[in-house]
Structure 1
Amino acid sequence: MLSIRHIVKQYAQHRALDDVSIEISQGSIFGLLGPNGAGKTSLIRIINQITAPDKGEIILKGEKLGPSHISKIGYLPEERGLYKKMEIGEQMLYLAQLKGLSRADAATRIKYWFQKMEIESWWKKKVEDLSKGMQQKIQFIATVVHEPELIILDEPFTGFDPVNADLIRDEILELNRKGATIIFSTHRMETVEELCDSIALIHKSHKILDGKVDAIRNSYRNNTYEIEYLGEKCGFDDSAPFVTTNETATNEGYMITLKLTEGKSANEVLSYLVPKVRVNMLREVIPTMHEIFIEKVSQIS
């Protein structure tokens, strides 16, 4: 769907992007991650043709990115940009027509989305009369009303209460099911794990990690397990196939975090424990995207 090839972007003495290449598959939900100032927004602006790269190119569905593709992209910027004193209905019609819709088609689609979001009564209201969360709903509709093939969402859940965050999440998933490719730029790692198929992590202008979320998490497995056992506290002798890193009391027994010793398996842990205690639960602890994010960024800081 989107091939980002060797992008370089320089602002005076600051290099915002340095030879960044990313492949985003058709129909995927892709997480674009990185600390503040990493270069994410610079890349998003290049994809949206707000600025141009100094080097490199972007290919969208086999064609070099150009002005004709603007109508195929929907962009929700982190810095929201609605006209505060303009009536919402007229503003939405204006923005939809900028994306190539006729006024009649725009009105039909906007009314559909207003009904879907249960905001039919807002047509004559002004943006300045709405709460931040309500303004977010309007901006989201403006982003997707022209049914773009590529949707770029920069921190889309900022300002939403949990109910409306869930509503927007469900709409994003529905748009994806209908074929839209979605790029998330976010600091919310729980959202990445819940929604994204693949990610790229940018730090200090460079791509330092990319791939499918499950594959990345699995690559950071480190033979750490949690085990809950019932009954009295059990001491472990030198023959234990693990090293205990944490142990806490529960209502009925103890929860331990352990790391397998070299060459040992979870089955060997159970063989050791079962004669001694009543094992209630064993699960492998796989690092979260948040933990991986922190580790990778701290390695380069």
Structure 2
Amino acid sequence: MISVENISKYFNRQTILHDISFSLEKGEILGLLGPNGAGKTTLMRIINHIISADKGHVTYDGKLLKEKHLINIGYLPEERGLYQSMSVEKQIIYLGKLRGLSSTEAKTQMEYWLKRFGIQAWKKKRIEELSKGMAQKVQFICTVLHDPEVLILDEPFSGFDPINIELIRKELLNFKKQGKSIIISTHNMNNVEEICDRAILINEGHKVLEGTVHELRHQFKEGIYKISFVGNMIAFANALWAGYEIIDKEIHGDDAFTIYLKMRQGNKINDLLNTVIDHISITGIEEVLPSMENVFVKSINAQNEIVSE
């Protein structure tokens, strides 16, 4: 649906984005990750024609992205921009009309979303009377009111409590089921793991990583396994040799344990099982993959080390 091709942007001779390329497929949720100042918001503004790229271009559904295509895009900026003295109702209808809806269509869609979020009672309130979380819901409604094919969301979970984060997360998954394509910039790595199909990591304007969440977590795995067993802890430890390192343990009772163990020297899980199977009764075993937060931190640290050298 969206293809970003060799985008570069410069401000005052400083490189903000350098030769960034990626694609957003139909029915996909793509995580756009990076530390503050990495260039994520600038990239989103370029896609939405708020600012222009100095190099490269963006296509929509195979065609060069133009103003007429923006009617098919819903954009939630990080800097929320609602008219404080306007009522919720007038605000939503006004922004819906800017996106091509008639007054009747905008009102119908507004009623649907206010009811879906259980906030019909807010309709006559002015924006300035709302809490930050309430205003965030109104802004989200304004973003999706015209039923866009593509959503570009900059920190969509910001300002929400856990209950409302889950509410927005479910709506995004519903949009995905409908075939909509979504780009999310977020610092909430848990939501990246739960809802994103792929992720792109940029740092200091450069693309550092790209892949499915599964691929990225496997790329950074460290050979750590979580093993739960019943038996004698000393017998288990004595059965190991130098090829394994116990890095943590949980005690569940006199003879029940969970061990976090790191493989060394090219050993495989079958080697471990053959080593300890005569000494304990294994109740569970799984490979521990790094979280997306760990992938994020390790990638940024590695990139920064390369730059400093």
TM-score w.r.t. structure 1 length?
0.95
Structure-1 residue corresponding to 2:230: 230
Give the partner amino acid of 1:134.
M
Once residues 125 and 259 of structure 1 are traced to their aligned partners in structure 2, the CA distance between those partners, rounded to angstroms, is 57
Task: Work out whether 1:29 is the aligned partner of 2:24.
Answer: no
Question: Is contact 1:26–1:181 with CA below 8 Å preserved after alignment?
Answer: yes
Structure 1: which amino acid aligns with 2:244? V
Aligned counterparts of 1:88 and 1:247: Cα–Cα separation in 2: 52
2:220 partner amino acid: Y
- Rounded Cα–Cα distance in structure 1 between residues aligned with 2:84 and 2:204: 35
Question: CA 1:93–1:269 in structure 2 vs 1: closer, same or farther (change >3 Å)?
Answer: same
Q: Please, which of 288, 294, 298 is the counterpart of residue 285 of structure 1?
A: 288
SS of the aligned residue for 2:156 comes to coil
2:186 corresponds to which residue? 186
**Equivalent residue of 1:148, what SS?**
coil
2:297 to 290, 294, 297: 294
Q: Which residue of 2 aligns with 1:244?
A: 245
Tell me which amino acid in the other structure corresponds to 2:201.
Answer: L
User: Residues 129-177 of structure 1, C-alpha deviation per residue, up to 9 Å, x if partnerless?
Assistant: 1111111110000000001111011111111122222111111111121
Structure 1: gaps spanning 5 or more residues: none
Where does residue 271 of structure 1 map in the other structure?
A: 274
Check the 8 A contact 2:245/2:264 in 1, yes or no: no
Contact 1:241 1:264 in 2 (8 A): no
Q: What CA distance in whole angstroms lies between the structure 1 residues aligned with 2:266 and 2:76? A: 49
Q: Partner residue of 1:9?
A: 9
Instruction: Determine if contact 1:234/1:276 at 8 Å carries over to the other structure.
Output: no
Q: Please give the alpha-carbon distance, in whole angstroms, between the structure 2 residues aligned to 1:30 and 1:247.
A: 34
- Deviations along 1:66-112, one digit per CA (max 9) or x if unpaired, are 10011111011111110111111111111001001111111111111
165-174 or 205-214, larger mean C-alpha shift: 165-174
When the two structures are aligned, how many residues end up with a matched partner? 301
Q: Distance in 1 between matches of 2:257 and 2:117?
A: 48
Aligned to 1:141: 141
Note if contact 1:241-1:268 (Cα within 8 Å) is conserved in structure 2: no
Matched, 1:156 2:156: yes
Identity rate, percent: 42
Give me the whole-angstrom Cα distance separating, in 2, the residues matched to 1:146 and 1:8: 30
Q: Match of 1:234, SS?
A: helix
Contact 2:9–2:54 (8 Å) recurs in 1:
yes
SS in 2 for 1:143: helix
CA RMSD of aligned residues (A): 1.5
1:270 aligned partner, one-letter code? L
Is the 1:6–1:20 contact (alpha carbons within 8 Å) kept by the matching residues of 2? yes
> Residue in 2 aligned with 1:68?
68
Seen in structure 2, the aligned counterparts of structure 1 residues 119 and 21 have a Cα distance that, compared at 3 Å, is same
Shift of 1:239: 6.3
Comparing 252-261 and 17-26, the one that deviates more: 252-261
Where in structure 2 are the equivalents of 1:248-259 lying within 5 Å? Answer: 248-252=249-253, 253-259=256-262
Q: Deviations over 1:107-137 (max 9, x none)?
A: 1111111111111222211001111111111
- SS state of the match for residue 86, structure 1? coil
Distance (whole Å) between structure 2 residues aligned to residue 247 and residue 118 of structure 1 = 45
Q: Compute the displacement of 1:24 (Å).
A: 1.3
| Equivalence for 2:307 | none
Contact 2:149 2:181 in 1 (8 A): yes
- Please report the TM-score for the alignment, with normalisation by the length of structure 2: 0.93
Q: Distance in 2 between matches of 1:243 and 1:67?
A: 59
Q: Distance in 2 between matches of 1:206 and 1:79?
A: 23
Q: Which residue of 2 aligns with 1:121?
A: 121
Tell me which residue corresponds to 2:45.
Answer: 45
In structure 1, distance between residues paired with 2:162 and 2:188: 14
